[in-house]
Amino acid sequence: MLNNPVKPQAHKIIDILKQTDAEWTFRVENELPIRHGQFMQLSLPKIGEAPISISGFGDGYADFTIRKVGKVTDELFNLKKGSNIFIRGCYGNGWPTEQLKGKNVVIIAGGTGVSPVKSLINQLYSEPGYAKEIYLILGFKNSQSILFTDELEQWKQAGHFHVICTLDNEDYPGWNKGMVTEFVKEIPFSSFGGNYECLVVGPPIMMKFAAKSLLEHQVPEDKIWMSFERKMSCAIGKCGHCRIDETYVCLDGPVFNYTVGKKLVD
CB 50, CB 104: distance < 8 Å: no
Measure Cα distances from 10 to 29, 138, 212 in Å. Answer: 9, 34, 42
Residue by residue, DSSP assigns 78-90 as T--TT-EEEEEEE
**What's the one-letter identity of residue 82?**
G
CB 160, CB 133: distance < 8 Å: yes
| Residue 254: cis peptide before it, omega within 30 degrees of 0 | yes
State the Cα angle at 88 between 85 and 89, rounded to 5°. 135
**What's the one-letter identity of residue 179?**
M
Helical segments of the chain, H only: 71-76, 115-126, 149-157, 204-216, 249-252, 258-261
24: left (phi over 0), alpha (psi -120 to 50) or beta: beta
> How far is 56 from 34, CA to CA, in rounded Å?
9
Quick one: CA torsion of 201, 203, 209, 212, rounded to 10 degrees? Answer: 40
SS3 185: helix
Burial class of residue 157 in the structure, from the number of CB atoms within 10 Å of its CB (0-12 exposed, 13-18 middle, 19+ buried): exposed
Q: Judge whether 90 is annotated as a binding position.
A: no
Q: Judge whether 239 is annotated as a binding position.
A: yes
Q: Judge whether 234 is annotated as a binding position.
A: yes
Binding site: which residues? 234, 239, 242, 250
Binding site for [2Fe-2S] cluster: which residues? 234, 239, 242, 250
